[in-house]
Structure 1
Amino acid sequence: MTDHHLFETFHLGKLTLSNRLVMNPMTRCRADAAGVPNPLMAEYYAQRASAGLIITEGIAPCANGKGYARIPGLWSSAQVQAWKAVTSAVHAAQGVIFAQLMHSGRVSHPANMAAGAKIVAPSAIALAGQMYTDALGLQDYPVPQAMTEADIAQAKAEIVQAARNAIAAGFDGVELHGANGYLLEQFLSPDTNQRTDAWGGSVEKRMRFVLEVARETAAAIGGDKLGIRLSPYGTNAGMGAYPEVEETYLKLLPLLADAGLVYVHIADHSAMGAPPVPLAFKQALRKAWPRTFFIGGSFEQASGQQAVHDGLVDLVGMGRAFLANPDLVARFKKGLPLNAPDADTFFTPGAKGYTDYPVAAV
């Protein structure tokens, strides 16, 4: 048990967070077709700068990794330049912001990608179902290309360069998106990684890509500026539990710690219908991680405070509550009611359901 409170400052590496509340990464699809952020995005993040830590929506590190319509990137000079306006706005509001790098792997469609980009994954296994595209509406997921050694080296290098670009754009750090069925998790899961070479076939080989990305990114920008998001038991994008799921993550965390990463961020989507991450497993992950540990999703104020009090987490991640309440921290402190999120505008372009949520009258 601890006496820690949600509203006290917290030291994350060399950074001082104003409180223990984290704004979870949430895809918002407000960038332009070339993945360039716009002034509306700067306004959106700056409105929420009272969070102890903001983690951006998933940002594509490269053209091959841009799966969804209107998600931003961090590979072109135009994108980097545009992100500077976002980070400047957040810093002017005394906020701390990390860029989440999300290579979507097989979760993609050519209609959402630049000409010449290709859909790559550990194995040539298509995701069931359909993806929305602005140009063609709903489309079946294509079969991805199984990555060659050259493709793997390229993807690693592109993620590392995107992390460098993030720091150049003024971000305080980077989160690797190793969750929710995207490329890093596609390597971890035997359902999507059916390779029999050095990158698959055993728990240790399936971990290799994630570990090399983490090590090389930490070497490039500093481990104190690097975290990772993981989603054991997650069901997004065709994922599911498998017999070695707990073994995989309990082996992975100490190796990520050795790489110097500053935090591990566990995604818990049980409030959205996914299977709950067992409490005993959460506790085991917490014990396996020597630095900042937090869980995002399925928390309200009271349950988040309880998790901090119990020592389960250092920080508490919240998504939709921050989306709908730019002044969430102030509302929590004053016991004020919360705005409800508008699901119809989660992924639509424009200000509606993005920058127009009201702050509470004081």
Structure 2
Amino acid sequence: MPKYKFLQPYTFQNGVQIKNRIVIPPMTEASALQDGTISMDELHYFDLHTGGAGMFIIPVANVSANGKGFEGEFSVADDKFLPGLKKLSSTVKRNGTKAILQIFHAGRMSNSKILRGEPIVSASAVAAKRPNAETPEELTNEEIEQIIEDFGQATRRAIVAGFDGIELHGANTYLMQQFFSPHSNRRTDKWGGTVDKRMTFALEIIKKVNQVIKENASSPFIVGYRISPEEIEEPGIRIEDTLKFVEVLADQGIDYLHISMGNAWRTSLNNKDDNEPLIEKIKRQINGRLPLISVGSVETPQDAEKVMDAGIDFVALGRESLREPHWVQKVESGQEDAIRYTVALQDYPELGINPSFKEFLDMLHTDMHIVGQDVAKDDFKGHLGSLEGN
């Protein structure tokens, strides 16, 4: 029996076995080529960081050309990207690590410069609450249906490319969350209005994805869903909305639910009198029907085991996996004292952090525990959520 619960295997209901409970969450490295093709730098980075965790969730590939959220983001919006995607999946799938491709549409969390002059789009023509945010165009019914189809085609490409599964990015204020949020979705048709109607876009995507898997996958294929439990906007998503949503999600044929937060034990952003961690509320609502992934400020084996002790099925290592690519291997071999919790800027090349990735990290002001340099902590939002999440 392994010393830690997080080293024990897990078997999904579809029969896929995961070798341990450690997950590398989707963390944007901003290193793709300008057209969305996987770069050699990205392959090098993933090669350095894979092999230990049970699942490696590859970050934010856009499903539509107008779904691009930032420069250096790779795409799964066309078959022309398949050669690079195949190299990516084969690189990550080493030593039994499962490769999960996160797919998304940025919606209003983009701008016309990134989209080369094209307008940004969203559920409604409401700008995001952030500096210099552009007002998006409201998607027509036909455009919504096309994006749903795009998610389906992206799933087909993930299957063809050899990935073990996909994660639907319904978090960090991107389009799937925008449809669920009463701030960004002011519609009165079937896509908006009540909390139930605001779920429709996500549920239709899940239905399409499951249909595509049934038609194209020759072996079990994992479908995960990532959510952000709350928003601070007014109006915005509150934990009560999320609990209603996860109650429905639990019966939609997905394989796991990934809770995106900057701290695994975060309490409500909106109700300061409520001291119960949000993950505990969600776990109680799910009641064992779906495995959960918890993420945020987990660094040591003791941090990870605390998540296991709380009855959470998987624990994700974000920033710590950047600092220490061999975290799992060192724990397995009894070399915990050798785990690296700080880095120097001079360490970046050996960690696969190229200048573009470094610039992205600097923009996030994320705490990489850089020796000799003060770096401010940030509770990530939007693109920032791609590093562990909010």
TM-score range for the pair, normalised by the shorter chain length = 0.7 to 0.9
CA displacement 1:58-85 (0-9 Å, x = unmatched): 1111101101011000012232210101
**Equivalent of 1:168, from 139, 157, 160?**
160
TM-score, reference length from structure 1: 0.84
Task: Give the counterpart letter for 2:327 in structure 1.
Answer: L
1:286 to 258, 283, 289: 283
Deviation at 1:159, TM superposition (A): 1.1
- The aligned length equals 338
Taking the aligned partners of 1:147 and 1:352, their CA distance within structure 2 comes to 33
Partner deviation per Cα, 1:276-298 (whole Å, 9 max, x = no partner)? 69635422321333021111222
Q: CA offset at residue 241 of structure 1?
A: 7.4
- Report the counterpart of residue 79 of structure 2 in structure 1: 77
Which residue of 2 is the match for residue 137 of structure 1?
none
How much does 1:119 deviate?
1.4
Match of 2:96 in 1: 94
CA 276–129 in structure 1, closer or farther in 2 if over 3 Å, else same: closer
Find the aligned partners of 1:276 and 1:5 in 2 and give their Cα distance: 30
Give the Cα separation in 2 of the matches to 1:342 and 1:207. 44
SS of 1:104 mapped into structure 2: coil
Q: 1:201 to 1:348 in 2, by over 3 A?
A: farther
Q: Structure 2: which 5+ residue stretches go unaligned?
A: 215-219, 362-367, 369-390
Instruction: State whether residues 34 and 71 of structure 2, in contact with CA within 8 Å, keep that contact through their aligned partners in structure 1.
Output: yes
1:228: how far off? 0.3
The range that moved more, 93-102 or 325-334, is: 325-334
Q: Tell me: CA distance 1:114–1:154, structure 2 relative to 1, closer, same or farther (3 Å).
A: farther
Q: Deviations over 1:16-58 (max 9, x none)?
A: 2221100010111100010100222222222222111000111
Two-structure CA RMSD over aligned residues (Å): 3.0
Specify the alignment match of 1:19 in structure 2.
20
Determine the C-alpha separation between the residues in 2 that align with 1:343 and 1:17. 34
| Runs of 5+ consecutive residues of structure 1 not aligned to the other structure | 131-139, 358-362
Alignment of 1:189 onto 2:195:
no
Match of 2:382 in 1: none
Question: Does 2:329 match 1:327?
Answer: no
Deviates more, 1:294-303 or 1:280-289: 280-289
CA contact (8 A) 1:126 1:143 kept: yes
User: Aligned partners of 2:4, 2:339: CA distance in 1, in Å?
Assistant: 24
- Residue 133 of structure 1 corresponds to none
Matches within 5 A, 1:223-238: 225-234=222-231
SS in 1 for 2:240: helix
Counterpart residue number, 1:47: 48
1:120 aligns with 2:121: yes
Contact 2:69 / 2:109 at 8 angstroms: preserved in 1? yes
- 1:6 maps to 6
Q: Is the 8 A contact 1:39 1:86 kept in 2?
A: no
Distance, in Å, in 1 between the alignment partners of 2:340 and 2:168 is 30
SS at match of 2:113: helix
8 Å Cα contact 1:105-1:182 kept in structure 2 = yes
Classify the secondary structure of the residue corresponding to 2:156.
helix
Separation of aligned partners in 2, 1:9 and 1:157: 34
- Percent identity of equivalent pairs: 29
Assess, with a 3 A threshold, how the Cα gap between structure 1 residues 271 and 217 changes in structure 2: closer, same or farther: closer
For the residue of structure 1 that corresponds to 2:172, the secondary structure is coil
The question of whether the paired residues in 2 share the 8 Å contact of 1:60 and 1:101 is answered with: yes
Partners of 1:293 and 1:228 in 2: CA distance? 10
- Whichever residue aligns with residue 319 of structure 1, its letter is G
Q: Which secondary structure state, in structure 1, belongs to the residue aligned with residue 109 of structure 2?
A: coil
Check if 1:208 corresponds to 2:209: no
Structure 1 residue 127: Cα displacement: 2.1
SS across alignment from 1:216: helix
Greater CA deviation, 67-76 or 344-353?
A: 344-353
Change in CA separation of 1:9 and 1:45 when aligned onto 2, cut-off 3 Å: same
**Equivalent residues of 1:46, 1:93 under 8 A apart:** no
Equivalent positions of 1:243-322 (< 5 A) are 245-270=238-263, 279=276, 281-289=278-286, 290-300=289-299, 301-311=301-311, 313-322=312-321
- In the TM superposition, residue 233 of structure 1 has moved relative to its aligned partner by 2.2
In structure 1, the partner of 2:384 is none
